[in-house]
Amino acid sequence: MSFTVAIVGRPNVGKSTFFNRLIGHKKSIVDDVSGVTRDRLYDVSEWNGKHFTVIDTGGFVNASQDIFEKEIKKQVELAIEEASCILFMTDATAGITDLDNQVAKLLRKINKKVFLIANKVDNNQRYLQAQEMWGLGFDELYCISSQSGSGTGELLDAVATLIPDDNEPESDLPKFAVIGQPNVGKSSFLNALLDEERNLVTDIAGTTRDPVHSVYRKYGKEFMLIDTAGIRKKHKVFEDLEFYSVIRAIKAIEDCDVCYLMIDATLGIEAQDMELVSLVIKRNKGLVILVNKWDLVEKTTYTSKEFETKIRAKLAPFVDVPILFISAKDKQRIFQAVEKGLEVYNNRRQEIKTSDINDKMLEAIGKVPPPSYRNHLIKIKYITQIAKPYPAFAFFTNYPDQIKGSYKQFLENQLRELYNFNGTPIRLIFKEK
Secondary structure (3-state) at 131 = helix
Q: Does 28 bind ligand GDP (CB under 6 A)?
A: no
Q: Does 16 bind ligand GDP (CB under 6 A)?
A: yes
Q: How many residues bind ligand GDP (CB under 6 A)?
A: 31
Q: What is residue 369's DSSP assignment?
A: P
CB closer to ligand GDP, 14 vs 370? 14
Provide the angle, in degrees to the nearest 10, between the axes of the packed helices 186-194 and 334-349.
90
**∠ CA 353-357-360 to the nearest 5 degrees?**
140
Q: What is residue 378's DSSP assignment?
A: P
Among 75, 90, 188, 424, binds ligand GDP (CB under 6 A): 188
Q: Write out the binding residues for ligand GDP, residues 125-154 only, by CB under 6 A.
A: 145-147
Rounded Cα distance, 16 and 11, in Å: 10
Our CA dihedral for 195, 423, 182, 174, rounded to 10 degrees, sits at 40
Rounded Cα distance, 164 and 169, in Å: 11
Among 17, 45, 278, 385, binds ligand GDP (CB under 6 A): 17
Among 77, 122, 320, 339, binds ligand GDP (CB under 6 A): 122
- Which among 160-168, 176-184, 235-243, 389-397 is the span making contact with ligand GDP, rule CB under 6 A? 176-184
Kindly write out the interface string for residues 62-101 of this chain, putting x where it contacts ligand GDP by CB under 6 A and - elsewhere. ----------------------------------------
Q: Write out the binding residues for ligand GDP, residues 229-258 only, by CB under 6 A.
A: 229
Rounded Cα distance, 62 and 18, in Å: 19
Among 15, 74, 213, 416, binds ligand GDP (CB under 6 A): 15
Tell the smallest beta-carbon distance from residue 220 to ligand GDP (Å). Answer: 26
Q: Does 11 bind ligand GDP (CB under 6 A)?
A: yes
Provide the CB-side half-sphere exposure for 393 (13 A, CA): 25
Residues pairing with 213 in the sheet? 204, 226
Residue 289: phi and psi, rounded to 5, are -100, 125
Given the rule CB under 6 A, which residues bind ligand GDP?
Answer: 9, 11-17, 58, 119-120, 122, 145-147, 180, 182-188, 229, 292-293, 295-296, 327-329
